[in-house]
Structure 1
């Protein structure tokens, strides 16, 4: 099961990915509205094992510690390239917005190619730096969670500290566009798309 909802002032998509047989689940990119996300989990009757972060910008991490408190035992994962963003308001960009979000460190670091089990489902980590140094995507049997790397008709911006357009385009073309064309793509902002649509229509990838 995949469900997504836009959270917070910047409308970053937060996703629930669950094995409905075991009711085990992960939360991907809880950027804001921690209580709303927690109630969503309760409505579905899920047990959250992991909070996984595609990258460390504030609009994708803001509710992590609130959810830690609400859920209890849960492991938070982020790539090493963005790990310091959790604990540094300047690096996660919140200081520029006047909010100074400083969170606890991650419980574990994500690695390219790593696989995580969620009941009978699996998520594979795909490293795609460029929007930030530690950007990752998560590939499941039901679709790709692309964070701020790939959007419907666009790509992530690369003008933040640590960004690189060359790196981002390389990762998208070599690691994402090679996936099956019918792969559903669930981005960090905006509507879902497919690999086929982006190969055909995305102006940044032509």
Structure 2
């Protein structure tokens, strides 16, 4: 596998990722950058884009999703709860959502999906090998906002409790939607919000 980290445009600098399987198929997670940015990598490596995986539907994470879907005939994944078709949630349709605990396979790449509502109703995290793509559920030392439309502090607390119990190796790389990277072990040990949620506190703010 080859993995590419592609920061989105200023001022939000959304973290977005492109993975290429050993067999030569590509997956984009949270297509926040311009479509041409992904096209350049895909064409340089002579690989087609097979799947687009959105961790949630906010505008700063799905900006080029429809353009890439149309250009490459790629399968677009986003939860129905985040398909409002408005300014905050610009996508109005996707090929499919996610089933809890399902595995999405692209060649040797396998993405295991868990629902983590709180930042948005349709937020998910995606585990692929040594990478945990967290969107805006979990940041290094922090979590995503819950005070935006569709957010819920109580749901976020429950999602963090779920995350803490998942069979994810401590050395797994936490790749959030914004900011620096971390490891799952570091977040379990040092993230105030996870530790507080595990103790049963739903009032995170």
TM range (shorter): 0.7 to 0.9
Which stretches in structure 1 are left out of the alignment for 5+ residues?
93-101
Distance in structure 2 (CA, Å) of the matches to 1:2 and 1:185: 14
Residues 131 and 139 (structure 1), Cα distance of their counterparts in 2 relative to 1, 3 Å cut: same
Distance in structure 2 (CA, Å) of the matches to 1:12 and 1:177: 27
Match of 1:77 in 2: 77
Which shows bigger deviation, 163-172 or 54-63?
163-172
Structure 2 counterparts to residues 1-206 of structure 1, below 5 A: 1-9=2-10, 10-20=12-22, 22-71=23-72, 73-84=73-84, 87-89=85-87, 91-92=88-89, 102-103=90-91, 105-176=93-164, 178=166, 179-206=168-195
Which stretches in structure 2 are left out of the alignment for 5+ residues?
196-205
Partner of 1:109: helix, strand, or coil?
coil
Distance in structure 1 (CA, Å) of the matches to 2:43 and 2:157: 38
The alpha carbon displacement at 1:182 in A equals 1.1
The alpha carbon displacement at 1:109 in A equals 1.7
Partner of 1:126: helix, strand, or coil?
strand
Residues 113 and 42 (structure 1), Cα distance of their counterparts in 2 relative to 1, 3 Å cut: same
List per-residue Cα deviations over 1:103-154 (Å, max 9, x = no partner).
5621112221121111122111110000000000111112110000001111
Partner of 1:204: helix, strand, or coil?
helix
Residues 145 and 165 (structure 1), Cα distance of their counterparts in 2 relative to 1, 3 Å cut: same
Partner of 2:192: helix, strand, or coil?
coil
Partner of 1:169: helix, strand, or coil?
helix
- TM-score in terms of structure 1 length: 0.86
